[in-house]
Amino acid sequence: MRGLQTIDSFLQDFSGLLCAHNACPRESEELPVPRLKAGAKDCKDPKGPKQSRKRLHLFLTLIFSFVPYLAHADHPKPWQMYYQDPVTPVMDHLYDFHTLLLCIEGTIVLIVGALLIYVIIRFRASKNAAPSKVAHNTLLEVIWTAIPVLILVFIAFPSFKLLYMMDVTPKADLTIKAIGNQWYWTYEYPDHNIRFDSNIVPEDQLKSGQFRLLEVDNRVIVPTHTNIRIITTSSDVLHSWAVPAFGVKRDSVPGRLNETWFHVKKEGVYYGQCSELCGVKHGFMPIVVEAVTKAQFEQWLVSKKNPAQTPSGG
């Protein structure tokens, strides 16, 4: 692990992409936190999916071992090949389920590829001058209809579970409204009378360690270990509010209020980008969520109400 981290930080220095001070929580810093299950009640689940995810992580890390970035990412890393590091229960499940899909589908591709290679070698004209005339085999046809059906049924169950888990917002402790505008986001905390705009930081104003095209002047500040309801809408055209590490993407549609939720388990800064074409600066309206402890969040709320002592990032 240490070795990986060394390469990791070397490559980041190399590409001029130093982590922001709080942007890269390492796996080892991970806190044991209660996980949220589909029923949306807090419950402790010390091994279960978490362990299996770790194992899959390991599996994938081995496969792509020349890519040292798989283990922990809340912003994209150079040559990244897989998801960013999940930090919400929903993204945990999504990650596991996608990895399951990847294994099933990878196997299918390999089987088809192997069959093709076998057929190409075994039945080339030089090896098999007289073609067979067989053009039916009912049993075979039933089998290659039935097996895919079984595989799909097998996929469908965890798929629905994930879908419904995402949909049901557990009792939310905080509501944030994200309003898409051409081309920035406006955030409202209706319970706290807070409202601010969040604009991209132009390249010439980036501080060292900040990410070009991903950084904003005013981040969304949220407490960790809290169920947060996010309501999206738009003041002009369609936009989409997305944070990959949360497994959240919700279109912001004028005239509609869309709702989704997340529950961040780790403090950190999480980056996303508008994900629905919205005009010329569609690529320039990033989303940054900074997850802090509940105490820090309370402080931030106070400072927001009393702007004299605004700390950075707020």
Partner 1 sequence: MSYATTIDHVHNADHPTGWRRWVLSTNHKDIGTMYIIFGAFGALFGSTLSLLIRLQLAHPHGTLLSGGEFQIYNIVITAHGLLMIFFFVMPVLIGGFGNWFVPLMIGAPDMAFPRLNNISFWLLIPSLVLLTLSIVVGSGAGTGWTFYPPLSSIGHPDAAVDFMLVSLHLAGASSILGAINFITTIFNMRAPGMTMHKAPLFVWGILVTAFLLLLAVPVLAGAITMLLTDRGFGTSFFEPAGGGDPLLFQHLFWFFGHPEVYIMILPAFGVISQVISTFARKPVFGYLGMAYAMVSIGVIGFVVWAHHMFTVGMDVNANAYFTAATLIIAVPTGIKIFSWIATMWGGSLTFETPMLYAIGFIILFVIGGVTGVTLANGGVDISLHDTYFVVAHFHYVLSMGALFGIFAGFYYWFPKMTGKMIPEWMGNIHFWITFVGVNLIFFPMHFLGLAGMPRRIPDYPDAYSGWNYIASLGALLTFAGAIYFALIVYYGFKWGKKAPSNPWGPGATTLEWTLPSPPPFHTFETQPHVS
What is the amino acid identity at position 181?
Answer: N
**Closer residue to partner 1 (CB): 177 or 304:** 177
Select the residue interacting with Cu ion from 274, 291, 292, 301 (CB under 5 A): 274
Shortest Å, Cβ 140 to partner 1: 7
Report which of 314, 292, 290 is spatially closest to residue 303, judged by C-alpha positions. 314
What is the amino acid identity at position 162?
Answer: L
Residue 195 near residue 305 (C-beta atoms within 8 A) = no
> Is 282 a residue that touches Cu ion (CB under 5 A)?
yes
> Is 3 a residue that touches partner 1 (CB under 8 A)?
no
> Is 103 a residue that touches partner 1 (CB under 8 A)?
no
Select the residue interacting with partner 1 from 276, 296, 303, 314 (CB under 8 A): 276
What are residue 222's DSSP bridge partners? 291
Select the residue interacting with partner 1 from 5, 253, 296, 299 (CB under 8 A): 253
> Is 148 a residue that touches partner 1 (CB under 8 A)?
yes
Shortest Å, Cβ 252 to Cu ion: 9
Kindly determine how many residues on this chain lie close enough to bind partner 1 according to the rule CB under 8 A: 96
Contact string (CB under 5 A) for Cu ion, positions 230-249, x = contact: ---------x----------
- Angle at which helix 138-167 crosses helix 89-122, to 10 degrees, equals 160
**Closer residue to partner 1 (CB): 234 or 300:** 234
CA distance 285 to 101: 32
CA distance 69 to 77: 7
CA distance 228 to 36: 13
Select the residue interacting with partner 1 from 35, 72, 77, 263 (CB under 8 A): 77
Residue 92 near residue 35 (C-beta atoms within 8 A) = yes
Q: Where on the chain is the footprint of Cu ion (CB under 5 A)? A: 239, 274, 278, 282
